[in-house]
Amino acid sequence: MKRLRRRKNATKEVVSQMEKRVEEDISADEKVVGYLPTGCTVLNLALSDRVDGGFGMGKIANVIGDSSSGKSILALSVFAECAHNEAFSDYRLIYDEPEQACEFDIERLFGVKTKERIEPPAVDDEGLPLCSETVQDFHANIHKALDDGRPFVYILDSLDALDALEDQKKAEEMIKAREKGTEVAGTYGMAKPKAISWILRHIVGRIKRTRSALIIISQTRDNISPVSFAKKTRSGGRALKFYSTHEMWLAVSGSIKRKGREVGIHTKIKITKNKLTGRKEDNVVVPIYREYGVDDIGASIDFLVSEGYWKKRGQKIVARDFELEVTRKKLIREIEEKELKGELDKIVGNVWAEICEALRLDRKPKYGR
């Protein structure tokens, strides 16, 4: 009984601390630059145990996923969160997109502020955007951003679209050699991992000192099974994992349909490296709509239901905190129209704190306090 009471008291203390922290985190007057918001409260918590942000500032993160698994939407959501957060008013939002495949309507999905704040890593003589084409370009562009002196959030989308100058030259030599019926000595394709390792080693310290953030997006070679998350390959070598504070893998776990047509996807996220909390998570599911983006409210509701905090009765959800028993669609509308998003964040944060407390060992500290 004594152990049970201690457990309950400890849980109450953690929840109380979380409530105070959440209230501070969502205060409009507070400038928070310690963490980079992802646009999804549940994902923020999975990455950092905080509702206000997930990725650590001064850090490198690697986001890996299948094609059309929501990588770019999540990246642009990070920019949108920064653009609408006064704490990041002095930050540059640099989008390095070697793929040149982003056709999203940035203004419609993420707002005018986001569109105005996003900038390319470089421009040509006519003022047109210039994105990296090789790892050497990326090296030059991020060094230029660091030399500028202003803090920044730099997203490379994606590393797979970059080549290495050495590999380009080797490929040309191999083509010419085949035409002559000869062979070229040496290995093709190894220059890129070596270059990435060297680049990350030389910029990681400067990113930390400037309180900037670098998110590198990687493409998987094969589709990931959302059930097993079977290991897949990615370009860039092992340096990416070594220097990243966070490493997360994205896979499509299902489609969202209306009137028989797909309007979005459920993206399952597995966090395989987390140097902020030390925990790995594989149960983060985020709804992403083609015409809306990341559904933060929907993800929070699904989390509370999946954890059993809110119950389901048939097609309705019993949201006891709001004294509502309605369908998921109506619950989302109620939260939006009555501006209950802040309260929802507090609830999700408290439930997360209780889960974390339940996972702690009920042991006396080995080295005291």
Distance (Å, whole) CA 198 – CA 195:
5
Q: What is the pLDDT of residues 67-96, one digit of tens each?
A: 899 999 999 999 999 999 999 999 999 999
Q: Is the pLDDT of residue 8 over 80?
A: no
Q: Is the pLDDT of residue 166 over 70?
A: no
**Amino acid 237: pLDDT:** 80
Distance (Å, whole) CA 6 – CA 106:
51
Token pair for residue 133? Answer: 């084409």
Q: Is the pLDDT of residue 350 over 80?
A: yes
Distance (Å, whole) CA 266 – CA 90:
34
User: Looking at the domain covering 33-294, what would its CATH class be?
Assistant: alpha beta
174-188, 208-222, 340-354: least confident range: 174-188
Judge whether 56 and 245 are in contact, CB under 8 Å: yes
Average pLDDT of the chain? 87
Buried b or exposed e, range 198-214, using 16+ CB within 10 angstroms: ebbeebbeebeebebbb
Q: What is the pTM (predicted TM-score) of this model? A: 0.86
**Amino acid 184: pLDDT:** 56
Distance (Å, whole) CA 257 – CA 263:
5
Distance (Å, whole) CA 297 – CA 341:
7
69-73, 83-87, 108-112, 181-185: least confident range: 181-185
- Residue 335: name the closest of 352, 321, 349 by CA: 321
Judge whether 253 and 267 are in contact, CB under 8 Å: yes
Token pair for residue 227? Answer: 């059930």
Structural domain boundaries in the chain? 1-30+295-363, 33-294
Helices 341-359 and 41-48 pack at an angle, to 10 degrees, of 30
Sheet with strand 311-313: strands edge to edge: 311-313, 316-319, 324-327
**Amino acid 167: pLDDT:** 63
Q: Is the pLDDT of residue 177 over 70?
A: no
**Amino acid 234: pLDDT:** 78
Q: What is the pLDDT of residues 235-292, one digit of tens each?
A: 778 899 999 999 999 999 999 999 999 999 999 999 999 999 999 988 899 999 999 9
Q: Is the pLDDT of residue 330 over 60?
A: yes
Q: Is the pLDDT of residue 347 over 70?
A: yes
Q: Is the pLDDT of residue 294 over 70?
A: yes
- Residue 95: name the closest of 120, 67, 71 by CA: 120
**End-to-end CA separation in angstroms for the chain:** 25
